[in-house]
Structure 1
Amino acid sequence: MCLDPTPPPPSSVTRRGVLAAAAVLAGTAALTTSAEAAPRPGSNGGDLVIEGGTLLDPATGEVIEDSVVVIRDGIVRAAGSRDRVQAPTDAPRLDARGKWVLPGLVDAHIHLNTAAEAADAVRKGATSARSGSTNFYQDIAVRELAWQAPQQAPHLKAAGVFVTPDLGDTVLADPDLTSLARLKEGVRSPEALRRVVEVNLARGADVIKTRVNERAGLPEQDPQTQVYSYEQLAEVVAAARKRGKGVLCHSYSEKGCHDAVTAGIRSLEHGVFVGERTLHEMRRRDTYFTPTLTAMAGLAESTNPVLAERGRTYLPILKDAVRAAHEMGVPLAAGTDSSGGTVDPIGREVQLMHEAGLPALDAIRTATTSAARLLGVEREAGRLTAGFQGNAVVVSGDPQRDLSVLMAPVHVVRSGLVV
């Protein structure tokens, strides 16, 4: 069975219908409707002054005691010491005395299927995020929620649906995907691979998610089994690049990792068995590594004996890979791989990065400046300085001495609004 090689024609009716259904599934439709009913004048962001805390800039490592951060309409207008920053008298105050203030954290790999999951991610400190894909475009609906009601969802880069050999029920999500259900070999031909990428982008995906190996989280699958070849991955990358989009790739085996990196992906996800030759290639190409240590640690706690053994075996191997990547200068990004209704705090991933061998400040950067660069928002997120988004976490102590404080923020500020 062959596909028509031409991409599906753009259809505003189909797009509206598909994304409206996604909003219903994600539970965001009513929330965005209510947010649109009473928008803030000129912006969906708020005004706030965060004062008295110790401000840490991850980019420079600078620490400013008794700091003032001024946020207007959701954007940082000024940040620095009290004697240098004039705080407006008409803005609400957040007292951060005795606490530390950092930019909102970035979860570079998370699966947000519902409004409840999105709100939980924000409460746990993730004010920006990149989707690891959803089954029915729910992440695109969550992205819209983040714009309309920022305190209820992270600023999100959506991946749409997974480019994988077996789309399963995902083909029911979109009339332009249903023809793929007839393919006996699944989504493997160049035409089929391009079709899924093109439909994703037509629906508004910001990035493309694909895979090279089977899953570690399913006991019946072998995560070192390769499902796409170098040539197939290159088709996905080429189709995404045609529209200026990057690709993140679920990977485990060394050969799979190498094929994915040389095919041109933007970031390698999981990557337990990534080897030295591939890490060198990643450094040369500026390919990111998002190891999702939190997910691997979670496997080790599974009640399923196969998964628990995988987690116990894989976690130290992955930590070694993270340490080697850092020493080689491969850019790292923090991602929890949260899914299934449970949202792990992004602070836990930062702590695991530190346990893998990164200095505390470098570990913090994986969830701030480095992750922001991966998402293409390095001039908006990852720092609290003039012109950046008014996203912040206030924590109980010095994260450079005790990273566990990032797991339970005292306050989270999203676009100038206290969550």
Structure 2
Amino acid sequence: MCVENTLPPPSRLTRRGILAGAAALAGTTAALSAAVPPAAAAPSTTNADTNRDARHTGGTGGTGGTLVIDGGTLLDPATGEVTEDAVVVIVGGVVRAAGTRGRTRVPEGAEVVDAHGKWILPGLVEAHIHLNTAAEARDAVLKGATTARSGSTNFYQDIAVRELARQAPHLAPRLRAAGIFVTPDLGDTVLADPDLTPLARLRDGVRSPEALRRVVEVNLARGADVIKTRVNERAGLPEQDPLAQVYDREQLSAVVAAAKRGGKGVLCHSYSEKGCHDAVMAGVRSLEHGAFVGERTLREMRRRGTYFTPTLTAIAGLAESSDPVLAERGRTYLPVLERAVLAAHELGVPLAAGTDSSGGEVDPIGREVELMRKAGLPALDAIRTATTGAARLLGLEDRVGRLARGFAGDVLLVDGDPLADVTVLKKPARVVRSGFAL
């Protein structure tokens, strides 16, 4: 059975009700109604820089704070430049100036955060996380992820979280939302969205080109920024075989083509070498997990500019599972994935940091940086996977990942030199989100 004779998804008729339901599930409506900007932050201002930041980062404009970070050692991940006794000036949620004290003008009367004795970095970018609730979103920010890309949710909750971030940036990371997972079995999601209910009649699930296209089109109609699909089964379920392939190259190409028509890229859950290669050849924007990706595929990724988001944190977490199947899987997969990460780095494949946090538990994105370093990346390059590298993957390289004029006013203060010890990123001493000190 196929779905080519069903009506195309109406992007306006049901969108408001669907997304209202998603907001209720995520608790973002309640969070927004109770939201009060941090008391220490200056009143929001609307200006050209703020509005430009809104266009580039998905904000609405006029929602940023004004703040000065005074003292401390500033690290620019793009250049590796280190500036001692630095000053960062944020106005309306946007960096107006960053540099040495003598060359940086500080606005009179601005609220000041004392950073002496600390290192100053841009807020980190989490390239693969599942944010289902406002509470999870807030936790992610407090642990250092001021910008993120969703790895999908079961009912568009990430789209609701994205809207929360636009209205109250101190409550959630700036977010690229993926909507629902393009997978053979949509589960309860297929009954929750009226534009997906025809797919419930499909005997073999979402596998035909028409069905795959439908799920992508509905996601786009709901406002997804990226599309998430899979090529292999899950590693986190003991009853599944992560090396078993669920979609072939032709099916993946159908997903990529549908997403491309909407101007969006695709991230693909993967494990086996064949699955990874099929996904890359189909044109996905980034390969997720990819434990057994081989040199042939990595070279193709370098040629195409395909990103690798290994989610080392998630695989390391499997090794700590109480389930013996998952624990053995984690112990086996982690060293293989570490070697793949180092090979990717040495070949010049772009890497992005993502924890794959889900289920109500948010791992600090600094943990992924730590594991990138453990896999063999130099400290600065490991930091770049959660700053400039991940920012490029999200299409935000001119707005996040650095602290320079025109960039978002997202800041991490840490107790120690991250170039000497990246583990300091796991426990930020202070987080600033869009000019609001948290």
TM category (shorter chain) comes to: over 0.9
Provide the rounded CA distance (Å) in 2 between the counterparts of 1:40 and 1:16. Answer: 28
Letter in 2 for 1:84: R
State whether structure 2 residue 266 is matched by structure 1 residue 247: yes
Aligned to 2:18: 18
Sequence identity (%):
75
Provide the rounded CA distance (Å) in 1 between the counterparts of 2:13 and 2:143. Answer: 37
State whether structure 2 residue 224 is matched by structure 1 residue 224: no
Asked if the contact 2:315/2:333 (under 8 Å) is kept, the reply is: yes
TM-score by length of 1: 0.98
Provide the rounded CA distance (Å) in 2 between the counterparts of 1:6 and 1:129. Answer: 35
Provide the rounded CA distance (Å) in 2 between the counterparts of 1:7 and 1:193. Answer: 15
State whether structure 2 residue 341 is matched by structure 1 residue 322: yes
1:262 to 281, 293, 299: 281
Provide the rounded CA distance (Å) in 2 between the counterparts of 1:241 and 1:13. Answer: 24
Asked if the contact 1:7/1:195 (under 8 Å) is kept, the reply is: no
Q: CA deviation at 1:197?
A: 0.1
Provide the rounded CA distance (Å) in 2 between the counterparts of 1:147 and 1:344. Answer: 23
State whether structure 2 residue 400 is matched by structure 1 residue 381: yes
State whether structure 2 residue 314 is matched by structure 1 residue 295: yes
1:110 to 129, 142, 154: 129
Asked if the contact 1:5/1:191 (under 8 Å) is kept, the reply is: no
Aligned to 1:57: 76
Letter in 2 for 1:3: V
State whether structure 2 residue 94 is matched by structure 1 residue 75: yes
State whether structure 2 residue 427 is matched by structure 1 residue 408: yes
Q: CA deviation at 1:234?
A: 0.1
Deviation track 1:37-57 (CA, whole Å, cap 9, x = no partner) reads 9x9453110000001010000
**Gap change, CA 1:7 and 1:95, over 3 Å in 2:** farther
TM-score by length of 2: 0.94
Aligned to 1:8: 8
Letter in 2 for 1:23: A
Q: CA deviation at 1:11?
A: 4.1
**Gap change, CA 1:308 and 1:297, over 3 Å in 2:** same
Asked if the contact 1:110/1:132 (under 8 Å) is kept, the reply is: yes
SS in 2 for 1:12: coil
Structure 1 residue runs without a partner (length 5+): none
Q: CA deviation at 1:414?
A: 0.3
Runs (4+) of structure 1 exceeding 3 A deviation are 33-37
2:416 to 397, 400, 408: 397
1:142 to 158, 161, 165: 161
SS in 2 for 1:146: helix
Aligned to 1:201: 220
State whether structure 2 residue 303 is matched by structure 1 residue 284: yes
State whether structure 2 residue 384 is matched by structure 1 residue 371: no
Asked if the contact 1:297/1:315 (under 8 Å) is kept, the reply is: yes
State whether structure 2 residue 152 is matched by structure 1 residue 133: yes
Provide the rounded CA distance (Å) in 2 between the counterparts of 1:71 and 1:201. Answer: 34
State whether structure 2 residue 386 is matched by structure 1 residue 359: no
Deviation track 1:132-178 (CA, whole Å, cap 9, x = no partner) reads 00000000000000011101100000000000000001112310001
Q: CA deviation at 1:7?
A: 5.8
Q: CA deviation at 1:90?
A: 1.6
SS in 2 for 1:278: helix
Aligned to 1:99: 118
1:46 to 50, 59, 65: 65
Deviation track 1:295-342 (CA, whole Å, cap 9, x = no partner) reads 000000000000000000000000000000000000000000000000
Provide the rounded CA distance (Å) in 1 between the counterparts of 2:192 and 2:373. Answer: 40
Q: CA deviation at 1:4?
A: 2.7
Aligned residues: 418
Provide the rounded CA distance (Å) in 1 between the counterparts of 2:5 and 2:298. Answer: 35
Q: CA deviation at 1:10?
A: 2.3
SS in 2 for 1:78: strand
Provide the rounded CA distance (Å) in 2 between the counterparts of 1:5 and 1:131. Answer: 31
SS in 1 for 2:102: coil
Q: CA deviation at 1:349?
A: 0.2
Aligned to 2:53: none
Provide the rounded CA distance (Å) in 1 between the counterparts of 2:44 and 2:105. Answer: 24
**Gap change, CA 1:11 and 1:356, over 3 Å in 2:** closer
Provide the rounded CA distance (Å) in 2 between the counterparts of 1:276 and 1:88. Answer: 53
SS in 2 for 1:319: helix
Aligned to 1:27: 27
Provide the rounded CA distance (Å) in 1 between the counterparts of 2:112 and 2:427. Answer: 21
RMSD, aligned α-carbons: 1.3
Q: CA deviation at 1:8?
A: 1.9
Q: CA deviation at 1:32?
A: 2.7
Deviation track 1:200-235 (CA, whole Å, cap 9, x = no partner) reads 000000000000000000000000000000000000
Provide the rounded CA distance (Å) in 1 between the counterparts of 2:84 and 2:233. Answer: 48
Asked if the contact 2:265/2:285 (under 8 Å) is kept, the reply is: yes
Asked if the contact 1:391/1:416 (under 8 Å) is kept, the reply is: yes
Asked if the contact 2:73/2:83 (under 8 Å) is kept, the reply is: yes
Aligned to 1:343: 362
Q: CA deviation at 1:2?
A: 2.3
Structure 2 residue runs without a partner (length 5+): 38-42, 47-61
